[in-house]
Amino acid sequence: MIIRRVRPEEWEAVGDLRVAAYESDGMLKAGPDYAEVLRRLGADGGEVLVAEDADGALLGTVMLQDYRPSSDVARAPEEAEVRALAVSPAARGRGVGRALVEAVVERSEAQGAHRVVLSTQPTMAAAQRIYERRGFRRLPDRDWDPFPGLTLLAYGLELG
């Protein structure tokens, strides 16, 4: 498996992969309009990474975004925010999510971030296990509601 930056010609495939991953877990039921956000996420900045297999098939994707005043979870310039971790339903159980999380942590450290933060839906148990095994801890004071009826859980990892 190779982790690399998304190529311009892959944006549509990355959007499709994100939507398929979120739909397969029922994550778009509370906010079906989020599918369009997933498709566009990263087009206006941030670093979008993909995992591909030896044949070049996309297995998963994640986005790393520097702090912005409009950030959902990051609160300071020394924080980097992880967004939209998505693994193709067909590629689950192969370490793709773990490899993508490790890649964003390494990139964050290399860019001088002191903390990596993210938010996740309460039902995203597999993703939460990946985060917790990597050392992320809950940040309940940063939980937030993108819309009524959905509270996202915040996690953070202190970097050395």
Query: Three-state SS string across the chain, please?
Result: CEEEECCHHHHHHHHHHHHHHHHHCCCCCCCCCHHHHHHHCCCCCCEEEEEECCCCCEEEEEEEEECCCCCCCCCCCCEEEEEEEEECHHHCCCCHHHHHHHHHHHHHHHCCCCEEEEEECCCCHHHHHHHHHHCCEECHHHCEEEECCEEEEEEEEECC
- Residue 38 is predicted with a pLDDT of 77
Ranges under pLDDT 50 in the chain: none
Using alpha carbons, select from 6, 142, 153 the residue that is nearest to residue 75: 142
- Residue 32 is predicted with a pLDDT of 63
Report the CATH number of the 2-158 domain. Answer: 3.40.630.30
Confirm whether pTM is higher than 0.75.
Answer: yes
